[in-house]
Amino acid sequence: MDQFERGEVVELLKSPTAKGIVVSVDEDGDVIEVQWVVASGMQGKTTAHHSSELCKVRDAPQPRTT
């Protein structure tokens, strides 16, 4: 499981086009608050997610090219 830190860029696994910045992480590292930068209808909003719902952008699965 990823360990998240404030300021990291993350994406929502169920919506890989949604990109945001971590604004807070709870003590256990389980609940992550993200302010969305690129997200349909969510730009500028802050939402809380379980760490299993997010991945760091650098770790995001890349599309396959053929």
pLDDT of residue 62: 54
Does 13 map to a domain? yes
11: Cβ contacts below 8 Å, ≥ 6 apart = 17, 18, 19, 20, 54, 55, 57, 60
Alpha helix (H) ranges present in the chain?
none
Specify if 66 maps to a domain: no
CATH number at residue 49: 2.30.30
pLDDT of residue 41: 82
The answer to the question of residue 52 being in a domain is yes
What is the per-residue pLDDT for 42? 83
Q: Considering the domain boundaries, does residue 25 fall inside one?
A: yes
How many domains, the chain?
1
Domain, as residue range, for 22: 9-59
Copy the structure tokens of residue 55.
Answer: 């991945």
Interval 20-65: pLDDT, tens? 999 999 999 999 999 999 877 888 899 999 999 999 997 555 555 5
